Amino acid sequence: MTRALLLLVAAALATAASAAAFTPTNTLAPRQWYLQDDHAFDAWASPPTNLAPVKVAIVDSGIDCSLPDFAGRLLAEKSFVGGNPCVDTEGHGTFVAGEIAADLGTTGIIGMAYTAQLLIAKVVNSADEIPLVAEAAAIRWAVDNGARVINLSLGGLRDVANPERDTYSALEASAVAYAYSKGAVLVAAVGNGDEAPSQPWPYASYPAALPHVIGVSALTRTGNVPDFSNRDPIFNDLSAPGVSIFSTFPAALTALRVGCPDQGYSDCGTEDYRNAEGTSFAAPQVSAAAAMLFATDPQLTNSQVGFILERTADDVNAASGCPRCGLLRDPLSGWGRLDVAKAIEALAGPLPPPDAYETNDDAGTQAHTVWGKTDTLKATIDYWDDPVDVYRVALQQKEKLRTQLDAPGSSGSIGLEVWLPPTIHVDKPASQKFLAASSTARHLAYVAPKKGWYYVEVRADSPGFAAYTLTLKKTAGPPATPPR
């Protein structure tokens, strides 16, 4: 099983520029129309000088390390498929890197996170495939080397209606969960319909369709969501410009177009990258925005960054140019259009509470283990991004477990459930025989019929976000000892 890079071809359109942002001095910046639509620099009257260094990993086809746009931006490069990570025969990774981190200067283009330090992971092999083992290893390498943001402009088909076509990978999911548990923000393209049986395709690709990954769809210059951009009511989180994107391109490939003036840039590249389009090129803008949030406030957690980016997005609807997009969150555009300025400005207000227990999304080792007779846990739950939290409790036979959930101001229905040993996964059809108790009243009492590990699940049953306090109290029965 493999993954694919996500790009298409489009024609150029016109757009109006914003006068609010500081004006980059890079000579080719005027061709980056998406900077204005993203309000990339509107939060600053002049280039900020106090940004903290942020490591951003690009898991892709490698990069042309020789391009002057990346001078001082490259921290480490590694290939997981053999060959030189500084040789990019596809051009895809070099293109993505330019959107994120091309340096502020007097020539070339500018990246939206132009102070970012890049970790380059090459995962496209000589057959133009992305082996899942390479992708998973690259994600782990990136976070082990300090990546706070990981860009994944790649994907594999998700097909809920046809499991035989679905490309879910436990290996990929484990790597993503590992990275998130270490504090990284993961951003992925939701996928293009040309890689699906039909378009528009109703499901986001993997890894965008995995928990805790920010899935990004594409927008046109008129504000519409193009047919090629995959839809998804749950895993499509944000949208960003994804047509007529201009960026860096390997010099060895642009040299094939003798006489093309902008060597090292995509308009001199191969046909697929001139006026390039695809969700692959929308995702890096969100990755760059995440990096700028971390650079502005290094104390932010990954869950806070994701929440801020999504909840400060500009709604995409009929009035803004997308006649098929509904008001507020919708399957085409998610929470809406990326707005970097609003995200930065949100740092001045109350921040969403962090969740210290992620990724506790299932039973087994993923669950957070609770020790002692009584424990109080403060966490968050989100129907779209984090719908399930699971806690593991050791109970003796006949020991009573009382649970109390308090979520003042929550905007959705929350369920509580207790699962018997030997539950392996919660909420799976094969696991239902292990469901011991369930409640939507936010409190529950249960007497253990046998000694073992029990699982308490907090589940978002309807759209909404909640910061909650879960109190677990064990009473009666013999003293608790961990089951063997």
For the chain, give every domain's residue range: 2-348, 364-475
Q: How far apart are the first and last CA of the chain?
A: 37
**Phi-psi map region of 341: left, alpha, beta (phi>0 left; psi -120 to 50 alpha):** alpha
- Hey, which residues does 414 pair with through a beta bridge? 460
Give me 38's structure tokens: 């993203």
Which pLDDT tens digit goes with each residue over 93-138? 999 999 999 999 999 999 999 999 999 999 999 999 999 999 999 9
Token match 């109390």: residue?
Answer: 404
Distance (Å, rounded) from C-alpha 478 to C-alpha 400? Answer: 11
Catalytic residue among 37, 38, 42, 60: 60
pLDDT score, position 63:
99
Residue 60 is a catalytic residue: yes
Nearest to 218 by CA among 235, 198, 236, 196: 236
Catalytic residue among 280, 287, 303, 410: 280
Give me 23's structure tokens: 């004006």
Catalytic residue among 37, 64, 92, 361: 92
SS3 458: strand
pLDDT score, position 18:
39
List of the chain residues with pLDDT < 50: 9-19
Which pLDDT tens digit goes with each residue over 397-450? 999 999 999 999 887 899 999 999 999 999 888 889 999 999 988 999 999 999
Token match 């976070």: residue?
Answer: 143
pLDDT score, position 1:
74
User: Angle at the Cα of 209 (from 207 to 211), degrees rounded to 5?
Assistant: 95
Is the CB of residue 117 less than 8 Å from the CB of residue 55?
Answer: yes
Distance (Å, rounded) from C-alpha 291 to C-alpha 119? Answer: 13
pLDDT score, position 477:
66
Is the CB of residue 428 less than 8 Å from the CB of residue 396?
Answer: no
Is the CB of residue 98 less than 8 Å from the CB of residue 142?
Answer: no
Percent composition of the chain: helix, strand, coil (DSSP 3-state, to 5): 20, 25, 50
Hey, what CATH class is 364-475 in?
Answer: mainly beta
Distance (Å, rounded) from C-alpha 377 to C-alpha 475? Answer: 18
Residue 443 is a catalytic residue: no
Token match 């905007």: residue?
Answer: 411
Q: What is the pairing mode between strands 185-189 and 213-219?
A: parallel
pLDDT score, position 479:
60
pLDDT score, position 19:
43
Residue 144 is a catalytic residue: no
Is the CB of residue 478 less than 8 Å from the CB of residue 451?
Answer: no
Task: Classify domain 2-348 at the CATH superfamily level.
Answer: Peptidase S8/S53 domain (3.40.50.200)
pLDDT score, position 6:
72
